[in-house]
Amino acid sequence: MKSLEKTLKNVTENPKYIFRLTIQGVMVGIFAGLMVCLYRFLLNGSETILRDYLSIIHGNVLYIILFFIALAVMGLLIDALTKWEKDSSGSGIPQVYAEVKGHMEANWNKVLVSKITAGVLTALGGLSLGPEGPSVQIGGMAGKGIARLFKGSKTDELRLILVGSAVGITAAFNAPLAGVIFVFEEINHGFDKTLVFIALVSAIVSDFISKMIFGQSTILNFPVLNIPLESYWVLVILGLAIGLLGYVYNVGMIKSSDLVNSLKIPSWLKFVLVFMVSGVVALALPEISDGGHFMMDMLDVAIPSLGVLVVLLLMKYLFSMFSFSSGAPGGIFLPILVLGAYIGAVFGSIIVPAFGWQHDLIYRFIIISMAGFFAATVRSPITGIVLLAEMSGSTESLVAMIIVSLIAYVVPTLLGNEPIYESLYDRLLLNKNREYVKKPSKHVMSEYLVPLDCNYINFKIKDIPFPKNAIVVSVIRNGKYIVPTEDFRIQYSDQVQVLTDNNDYPFVREEIEELFGE
Per-residue pLDDT of 334-391, as tens digits, reads 999 999 999 999 999 999 999 999 998 999 999 999 999 999 999 989 999 999 999 8
Question: Strand, helix or coil at 446?
Answer: strand
Beta bridge partners of 471: 499
Q: Given pLDDT bands bounded at 50, 70 and 90, which one contains residue 66?
A: very high
Task: Starting at the earlier edge strand, list the strands of the sheet with 480-482.
Answer: 443-449, 495-501, 470-477, 480-482
CB atoms inside a 10 Å sphere around CB 147: 25
Show Cβ contacts of residue 342 under 8 Å, excluding neighbours closer than 6 positions. Answer: 295, 299, 309, 312, 313, 316
Residue 14 has pLDDT above 90, yes or no: no
Q: Give residue-wise pLDDT tens across range 438-452.
A: 566 677 888 888 888
* pLDDT for the residue numbered 386: 93
Residue 307 has pLDDT above 90, yes or no: yes
Q: Given pLDDT bands bounded at 50, 70 and 90, which one contains residue 467?
A: confident
Kind plus residue range of the DSSP H or E element containing 61 = helix 61-84
Q: Given pLDDT bands bounded at 50, 70 and 90, which one contains residue 272?
A: very high
Domain stop point among 410, 429, 448 = 429
121 and 57, same domain (yes or no):
yes
197 and 121, same domain (yes or no):
yes
Give Cα 454 to chain centroid, integer Å: 28
Task: Tell me whether residue 224 is in a domain.
Answer: no
420 and 454, same domain (yes or no):
no
The pTM for the full model equals 0.88
393 and 472, same domain (yes or no):
no
373 and 460, same domain (yes or no):
no
Number of domains in the chain: 3
322 and 413, same domain (yes or no):
yes
Range of the domain at 328: 229-429
Task: Tell me whether residue 193 is in a domain.
Answer: yes
CA-closest candidate to residue 502, choices 103, 133, 173, 175? 103
443 and 421, same domain (yes or no):
no
Domain stop point among 158, 182, 214 = 214
453 and 424, same domain (yes or no):
no
* pLDDT for the residue numbered 13: 54
* pLDDT for the residue numbered 248: 95
CA-closest candidate to residue 341, choices 315, 373, 378? 373
Of 37-51, 276-290, 482-496, minimum mean pLDDT range: 482-496
Q: What is the CATH number of the domain that holds 302?
A: 1.10.3080.10
389 and 506, same domain (yes or no):
no
Q: Given pLDDT bands bounded at 50, 70 and 90, which one contains residue 434?
A: very low
* pLDDT for the residue numbered 476: 83
* pLDDT for the residue numbered 301: 82
402 and 509, same domain (yes or no):
no
Amino acid (1-letter code) at residue 190 = G
